Amino acid sequence: MNNQPILNKYWSSVCRHIDPYVPGEQPKGTKLIKLNTNESPYPPSPRVLEAIRNAASEDLRRYPDPFSDELRKAAADYYGIGLKQIFVGNGSDEILAFCYLAFFNPGERILFPDITYSFYPVYSKLFGIPYKEVALTRDFYVPIREFMTDNHGIIIPNPNAPTGRFLDTDSLLTMVNYNLDCGKVIIVDEAYIDFGGDSLISFINRFPNLLIVHTLSKSRSLAGLRIGLAFGSEGLIEGLFRIKNSFNSYPLDRLAIAGAAEAFRDREYFEETRGKIIRTREWIEKELAKIGFIVIPSKANFLFVAHKNVSAADISSKLREREIYVRHFKKPRIDNYLRISVGSDEEMEFLLKNLREILGAYKG
């Protein structure tokens, strides 16, 4: 719909000038292998589905709890923190948008990496927050020292997307501590933290400027339910509630609250499925290296890879002919890389078989 925007005289100045985010394709079809949007190959917990079915009752005629207390309590229990240290939203994207309104000021420049989640610059344009993109190193490391400089806010995803690289806790905390006195908020977007990285949640009591953002879309297999969470000091959380309550009283519906709360209660299923994804990733990393891919070490549920001989654009389009979808970002510095979601072992076997065939044709 947005390929050729018609300039419309009724649009606001912001609406004319923004450059909307384009999510990964959601092709319709049952046979295809979809490794382009980092969804889980495993279904949600059966207990989550049951909780949702139970919530599909006549109570739907009632508004939901505007504070989503059931969900916030379940998450508080899971992480061992206080109810007032948790905010929930309609996906982590909505929470990130609220963060721009709650913590950043128009005209005051924030920092985030140059290669990262491509929604960050979109929010900046929507809300008039200037930004500086801090260049990753050649090997796609976040240069943490360059965030220890004059700024009015920082967003760092950890693990980073689309690279998958994880930044150690000590480096991050040194940076958070450096920025403590300037009164600006550091947002650590931990969308992919459950796949082997260490969360900073346990440090929110020590750093009142630290906000951690999570999602249930990846490690809890609930992309279709739209649940994000934020963890931070009571002041930061209250700031997010002030914005939410000035935007939409009830961003989470009754079904989402019930299902997401149950997702936190079913620890066993969560541990089992994320463990499988980590093991598949560790195996497929080696297999991809064997057939000539450079693989950036990943702590996420995807791999960021480049082939030594064949271009990412070629591989991507040939995979698509075989109904295998991976993500190719046509952006400077990363246009020869592919981001491949970690699917089930069967999906990965099928991917490898097809990659071998595609690459074999180039040798001949």
**Cα separations in angstroms, 64 against 55, 70, 98:** 11, 11, 20
Residue 67 touches its own copies, criterion: CB under 8 A: yes
Angle between helices 120-127 and 91-103 (to 10 degrees): 40
What is the rounded CA–CA span in Å between residue 192 and residue 326?
18
Does 154 engage in binding with its own copies (CB under 8 A)?
Answer: no
From residue 96, alpha-carbon distances to 89, 108, 214, 349 in Å are: 9, 17, 10, 36
Q: Considering beta carbons, is residue 116 or 296 the nearer one to its own copies? A: 116
Q: Give the C-alpha distances (Å, rounded to integers) separating 268 from 191, 224, 272, 345.
A: 20, 21, 6, 20
Contact positions with its own copies (CB under 8 A) in 252-311 = 252-256, 259
Q: Is 229 in the site for its own copies (CB under 8 A)?
A: no
Return d(Cα 111, Cα 348) in angstroms, integer.
Answer: 36
E strand segments, the chain: 33-35, 86-89, 110-113, 131-134, 154-157, 186-189, 210-215, 228-231, 293-296, 302-307, 324-326, 338-341
Binding window for its own copies (CB under 8 A); candidates: 121-129, 189-197, 322-330, 351-359: 121-129
State which residue, 39 or 285, has the beta carbon closest to its own copies. Answer: 39
Beta carbon of residue 176, minimum distance to its own copies (angstroms, whole number): 13
SS3 95: helix
Report how far residue 197's alpha carbon sits from residue 46's, in angstroms, rounded to the nearest whole number: 26
Q: Which of residues 29-58 bind its own copies (CB under 8 A)?
A: 34, 37, 39-44, 48-49, 52-53, 56-58
CB of 14 or CB of 313, closer to its own copies = 14
Contacting range for its own copies; rule: CB under 8 A; set: 3-11, 141-149, 161-169, 193-201: 3-11
The residue among 61 and 138 lying less far from its own copies, judged by its C-beta, is 61
- Looking at residue 37, the DSSP 8-state letter turns out to be S
Q: Please report how close the Cβ of residue 256 comes to its own copies at its closest, in angstroms.
A: 6
Give the range of 74-82, 161-169, 228-236, 322-330 binding its own copies by CB under 8 A. 228-236
Identified binder of its own copies from the candidate list 31, 61, 286, 330, rule CB under 8 A: 61
Binding map of its own copies across residues 98-117, x = CB under 8 A, - = no contact: ---xxxxx------------
